[in-house]
């Protein structure tokens, strides 16, 4: 920012890329890495959101859709244009696939797999090349508790995030000799604009809290602290791990969304019985 002193910290002299950095968890991670001195570039699909976020936390931005390989390559080049790229947080993700299995839309299923699984792979593919040229680095994939604990009626979301978890392990095994560490984070319910309706008081939120030993909604900063640890020098001997940051939710069961989905699909459909959507 104009007039601000140069940042200092353990990440000083390195560049970082955060996908999905315009809001939510991605923005929280970008803010945290920048606070420790990294030259951060955020990317995403919506320029207005990126521009506002970049101005807010004093970082650079590039418009890029992680499902478009050319755009990913351009974002990686921009991130490493001034300093060696050493840290990557792949936070871009989401879903358009939801509902009972018997009523899932195939196109929405494919789009969700493309965004979460393929988008993370493309980000890893191109950042791994850059980090290998720089002599090493750390990649953190933002997964979800839905990858490990079934979230009924979540369609392709949990499936795609389980693919991300496996990609983390595969890449950690392959890229270790190049000095690249690859880890993941499985957030639980985190307070972002994408889940605003879920974090409102009601039966779904109550069930979430009942499944968490620590009994509170997470904040983007909770995930950002874990990401900062995993890209930093403090975790130099950690790779191939997917860490739950979820208030302990993974110890119990997935949340019960029946109160939200039954009015949409009907009780029979939620039980897997044939029938038309309501």
Q: Give tens-digit pLDDT for 182-201.
A: 999 999 999 998 898 899 99
**Backbone phi and psi for residue 230, each to the nearest 5 degrees, phi listed first:** -75, -20
Please tell me the total count of domains within the chain: 1
pLDDT of residue 278: 41
**Nearest residue to 26 (alpha-carbon basis) of 71, 70, 59:** 59
pTM: 0.95
Tell me if 61 is assigned to some domain.
yes
Tell me if 116 is assigned to some domain.
yes
Tell me if 59 is assigned to some domain.
yes
pLDDT of residue 194: 83
Tell me if 278 is assigned to some domain.
no
Q: Kindly indicate the confidence band of residue 277, based on its pLDDT and cuts at 50, 70 and 90.
A: very low
Q: Are 268 and 275 in contact (CB under 8 A)?
A: yes
Tell me if 276 is assigned to some domain.
no
pLDDT of residue 274: 79
**Backbone phi and psi for residue 190, each to the nearest 5 degrees, phi listed first:** -115, 140
Tell me if 9 is assigned to some domain.
no
Q: Is 257 annotated as catalytic?
A: no
Expressed as residue numbers, the domain containing 204 is: 15-270
Q: Where residue 200 sits, what CATH number does that domain have?
A: 3.40.50.720
**Nearest residue to 227 (alpha-carbon basis) of 35, 6, 22, 81:** 35
Q: How many residues does the chain have?
A: 278
- Beta strand spans in the chain (E): 15-19, 39-44, 60-63, 85-90, 137-142, 180-187, 242-245
Q: Are 25 and 190 in contact (CB under 8 A)?
A: yes
Looking at the predicted structure, is the pLDDT value of residue 120 above 80?
A: yes
State the DSSP code for 15: E
């Amino acid at each position: 920012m104009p007039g601000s002193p140069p940042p200092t910290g353990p990440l000083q002299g390195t560049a970082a890329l955060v996908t999905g950095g315009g809001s939510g968890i991605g923005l929280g991670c970008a803010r945290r890495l920048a606070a420790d001195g990294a030259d951060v570039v955020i990317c995403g699909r919506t320029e207005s959101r990126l521009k506002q976020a970049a101005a807010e936390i004093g970082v650079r931005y590039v418009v890029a859709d992680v499902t478009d390989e050319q755009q990913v390559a351009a974002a990686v080049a921009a991130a490493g244009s001034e300093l060696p790229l050493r840290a990557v947080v792949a936070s871009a993700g989401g879903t358009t696939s939801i509902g009972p299995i018997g009523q899932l839309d195939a196109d929405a299923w494919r789009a969700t797999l493309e965004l979460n699984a393929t988008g993370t792979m493309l980000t890893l593919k191109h950042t791994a090349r850059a980090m290998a040229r720089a002599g090493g680095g750390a990649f953190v994939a933002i997964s979800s508790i839905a990858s490990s604990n079934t979230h009924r009626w979540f369609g392709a979301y949990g499936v795609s995030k389980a693919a991300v978890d496996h990609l983390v392990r595969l890449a950690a095994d392959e890229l270790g000799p190049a000095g690249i560490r690859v880890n993941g984070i499985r957030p639980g319910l985190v307070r972002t604009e994408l889940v605003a309706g879920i974090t409102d008081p009601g039966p779904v939120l109550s069930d979430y809290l009942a499944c968490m030993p620590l009994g509170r909604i997470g904040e983007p900063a909770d995930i950002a602290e874990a990401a900062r640890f995993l890209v930093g020098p403090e975790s130099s001997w950690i790779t191939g791990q997917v860490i739950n940051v979820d208030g302990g939710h993974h110890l119990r069961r997935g949340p019960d969304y029946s109160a939200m989905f039954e009015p949409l699909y009907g009780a029979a459909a939620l039980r897997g019985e044939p029938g038309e959507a309501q």
